[in-house]
């Protein structure tokens, strides 16, 4: 089975990514709080392609959200599916491009943590 780490960056990437998670959550029977409310074994069968199981019947997207301005991240957090994401998977980079190398390392590190979380159960 394949696991996907979804990285969404910038205003456009985060807006499209948020809509993506709304659709995927609906298809897999996941409510905005991350609880499984589906009624089909097909929904749960491949759920770990996109989600980590945080606790029984509670799922968290395997996603990293990155942006240079707080407005986009705030709108994702305050949206209907904002509570679905782990707070530590939001990467806000205020210092812009002056420190882009550090930002790249942080995104890669967070992506690795998101991916390996299913094996470690929590990070």
pLDDT of 121: 42
pLDDT of 4-53, one tens digit each? 888 898 899 999 999 999 999 999 999 999 999 999 999 988 898 999 99
How far lies 123's CA from each of 66, 110, 111, in Å?
19, 10, 12
pLDDT of 66-123, one tens digit each? 888 888 889 999 999 999 999 988 888 765 555 556 666 666 766 666 665 554 443 3
pLDDT of 14: 94
CATH class for the region spanning 6-120: alpha beta
pTM for this prediction: 0.77
Residue 4, both tokens: 């996907």
Q: Give residue limits of the domains in the chain.
A: 6-120
Q: What are phi and psi of 108, to 5 degrees?
A: -65, -40
């Amino acid at each position: 089975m394949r696991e996907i780490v979804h990285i969404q960056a910038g205003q456009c990437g985060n807006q499209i990514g948020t809509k993506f998670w709304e659709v995927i959550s609906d298809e897999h029977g996941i409510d905005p709080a991350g609880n499984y409310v589906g009624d089909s074994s097909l929904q749960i069968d491949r759920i770990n392609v996109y989600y980590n199981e945080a606790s029984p019947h509670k799922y968290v997207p395997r996603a990293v959200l990155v942006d240079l301005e707080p407005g986009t991240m705030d709108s994702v957090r305050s949206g209907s599916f904002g509570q679905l994401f782990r707070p530590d998977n939001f990467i806000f980079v205020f210092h812009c491009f002056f420190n882009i190398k550090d930002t790249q390392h942080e995104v890669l590190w967070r992506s690795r943590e998101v991916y390996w979380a299913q094996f470690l159960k929590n990070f």
